[in-house]
Amino acid sequence: MDNQKNGISPYTVNLSTGALRQMVNVVHDLQNLSENPNYPLILPKLPETAQINSGHYSVLMGYDFHIDDSQQVKLIEVNTNAGGLWFAVRCYLPDAQQFPGKLASKLLNTFIDEYRLFRQNNNAQPKFIAIIDQQPQQQFLFPEMQVFAQLFEQAGIKTVIIDPSEIEVKDTRLYYQEQIIDLIYNRHCDFYLNTPEMQHIARAWQQQSVCITPNPRVYGLLADKQRMIDWSRPDFLNHLLAPKIATRLQAAIPETHLLQSLAKDTLWSTRKQMVFKPTTSYASRGVYIGNKLTKNKFNSFDPLETLVQQRIKPTTTLTPDGEKFKTDFRLFVYRNKIINVCARLYQGQVTNLRTHKGGFSKIKFNSNDITNL
């Protein structure tokens, strides 16, 4: 892809260990929340695929943050299937052909752990993994999928990268070219398995005949953008977390509403302090910063499908040659384990990998303070 060259920035971003600690706290607090058995009971009804509790978690969760002027960390969104880890690695190892040793081991173990939890067998090992996406060879992050496939193959696990249409169903099992698929690494952006091309996979998931990670339930509990509405509501967390933890977590959640719940006339006058997002967006698609919004675009938003979120301005990184970049931070996570921490530099309204000299960047912090995060 033409913009692959903008995926990695030559610059280094400073991140205080205090801010990093806040980010890690948010990850741990939300994971604890998601594992509280009372939490799903007070949520709006989740889609059918997300009501299935398969007993495992989701690989490559991504937590994206801004840092406000008072150095308070703010969670911008949670992602399942967070992309870009390969870019983050190559910031430090530009000539890398595969994930480096320790990281490779961590990543492989997350997939093995997922499968063993799904099978409820501590010795289970997937024999065949399918990495799926819509026309994967055409995807911007296809090279990253190839690196994951290499990781699995080196561990003796046969792996293919395929479109969902290439998967066949026999009885209740999923197959690719007569081979049973044990685990699906879902890079497709239909996280609830709702679209027509994912229905055969959804049925297998409902029958629990295949391990899928990231899985629909974790998406529903943590990464569905409408959860930000719930978390930002006063007192929502108080019955689910210890008071001190609830207060700490809520301080990191920007005020978030569904457009339908707000008076449009009042909202228009305060739009410059807001960000408008589709409830199902990903990769910053369809996101509008309020101060750049036209009245026609504002009036075109679907009230039932648009989130309105307090705008938290991104950190500004000033480079040695005098350029300014907006900056956000991403933590790649498995359950409550931090896999990687990275920054992303960009110019324009929203995070992108199209800015010259922007993209994923190195982070500078005191490593002695983060070894136990």
Query: Worst-scoring range by mean pLDDT, 96-110, 111-125, 278-292?
Result: 278-292
CA 231/CA 299 separation, integer angstroms: 27
Q: What is the mean pLDDT of residues 57-76?
A: 94
Confidence category of residue 6, pLDDT binned at 50, 70, 90: low
CA 163/CA 177 separation, integer angstroms: 13
CA 105/CA 29 separation, integer angstroms: 25
> Does the pLDDT of residue 195 top 80, yes or no?
yes
pLDDT score at 334: 97
Confidence category of residue 367, pLDDT binned at 50, 70, 90: low
pLDDT score at 99: 97
> Does the pLDDT of residue 202 top 60, yes or no?
yes
Say what the alpha-carbon torsion angle 92, 136, 104, 364 is, to the nearest 10 degrees: 30
> Does the pLDDT of residue 283 top 60, yes or no?
no
Q: For the chain, give the mean pLDDT.
A: 91
Could you tell me the two tokens for 58? 């989701």
pLDDT score at 3: 41
pLDDT in tens, 308-357: 999 998 889 999 988 999 999 999 999 999 999 999 999 877 777 778 88
pLDDT score at 281: 64
